[in-house]
Each structure stands twice: as structure tokens, then as C-alpha cells.
Structure 1
Amino acid sequence: MKWAHVSENWPAFFEAIVEKWPEADEAELDEIDGDQRAFIRYIAEVTGQEIDETKDEIREWLSGEIPSDVIMDPSHDNHSIALSSKYVGEGEDEYDDDARFGDDDEVRDDGD
């Protein structure tokens, strides 16, 4: 992924950032507001790393996949669905509509 994806969707990355750097605080991340230099300085500060080491670690993190809940567009969603096909049972289609399972928020009247 590119930094542009991160900065454009900054709050959506908080969970992934805290997962990678547990020392990070969401309130502090909110103040950084997607500024890459400020983020590098902040991560170096909370981890006790040198700036160059932090840059390398962030570069490695950026080489990973964009979290699926960050990008909400049909082409990315379809790509993610296609990748999920390895978890779908034989004879099933990963693109099938799952509406028959209903809405988790709806209250059912069939005694359940």
C-alpha cells in the first residue's frame, strides 16, 4: 500500500497501527492526522527506536495488504472476495448472495 492510502483513510488505520505498534495511542494518532513525518517521529518516540529503524519498520508495514475494512470500493471488495475463495467449501461460489442468512440486527419472529 502507499502512504496516500493511509493518510486518506487515517482513522481507519488506527486498529492496524495499534496492532503493529501496541505502544501507540489512538488519541495521539488522531492528532497526527495522517502526517507521515509526524507518524515516523511518534513511532520512534513510543518504541524507543532510531528514526532510520522506524522508517524501515514503517516501510515494511506499508508493503503489506491494505486492511479490507479500509478501502470500500467494488474492485477492492471483489478482489478480497476472490481471495477468500480458498476458504469457501467445494461446490459453493464465493460470489453467491448470502441474503438467506438474514440480517443479524433483525429480530426473528419464528420463536428464536
Structure 2
Amino acid sequence: MKWQHVAENWSAFYEAIIDRWPDLDEADLDEIDGDQRAFLKLISTTESVEMEEAKAELREWLMGEIPADVVMDEMHDNRSIMNSAKYVPEGEDEYDDDARFGDDDETDGD
């Protein structure tokens, strides 16, 4: 993931951030509001590490997957729908209900 994803969905990342850096709290994260420099400084101060080590920790964390609750965020979902437009045949709307494709009436056999 990229920092841009984190900054754009800052509060959605709180749980993942606190899982990785349990000494941080939501009040501190609220103040930072997605500012990467402020976040690095907070990690450095809270974890008692040099800034370079904080940067390395952040780079390692960013190599992980985007948390599911962020992926399911409405803003992310809408962006995914808009990006899917290139796969939708001309004349169809990517926001249309898929019921007309016939699969909504099928039962799972449960």
C-alpha cells in the first residue's frame, strides 16, 4: 500500500496502526490526521527510536496488505467501481444494478 491510501482513509487505518504500534492512541492519531512527518515523529518519540528506524518500520508496515475494513470503505469501493468502467462494455453503466444479469434470482440451495 502507499502512504496516499493511508492518508486518504486515515481513521480507517487506526486499528491497523494500533495493532502495529500498540503504544499509540487514537487521540494522537486524530491530531496527526494523516500527516506522514508527524506520524514518523510520533513513532520515533513513542517507540524511543531514531527517525531512520521509525521510517524503516513505516516502510515495512506499508509493504503489508490494506486492511479489509479500509478496502470495504465506501470511498475505496466507489473508486474501484469507477476503475472497473474500462471492463464494462460500451453503452452499459458500471453503477447499474447487476440484477439484469440473472444471478440475483438464483438460490444457493441452502
TM-score by length of 2: 0.66
Corresponding residue of 2:98: none
Quick one: distance in 1 between partners of 2:55 and 2:7? Answer: 16
Quick one: distance in 2 between partners of 1:13 and 1:60? Answer: 15
Quick one: distance in 1 between partners of 2:42 and 2:57? Answer: 13
Which runs of 5 or more structure 2 residues have no equivalent in the other structure? Answer: 82-106
Quick one: distance in 1 between partners of 2:32 and 2:8? Answer: 13
Q: Which has the higher helix share?
A: 2
Size of the aligned set, in residue pairs, is: 80
TM-score by length of 1: 0.65
The percentage of counterpart residues that share the same residue type is 60
Corresponding residue of 1:7: 7
Corresponding residue of 2:51: 51
CA apart distance, 1:10: 0.2
Corresponding residue of 2:63: 63
CA apart distance, 1:71: 2.2
Quick one: distance in 2 between partners of 1:19 and 1:71? Answer: 17
Which runs of 5 or more structure 1 residues have no equivalent in the other structure? Answer: 77-98, 101-112
Corresponding residue of 1:86: none
Quick one: distance in 2 between partners of 1:23 and 1:2? Answer: 23
Quick one: distance in 1 between partners of 2:68 and 2:2? Answer: 15
Pairwise CA RMSD: 2.4
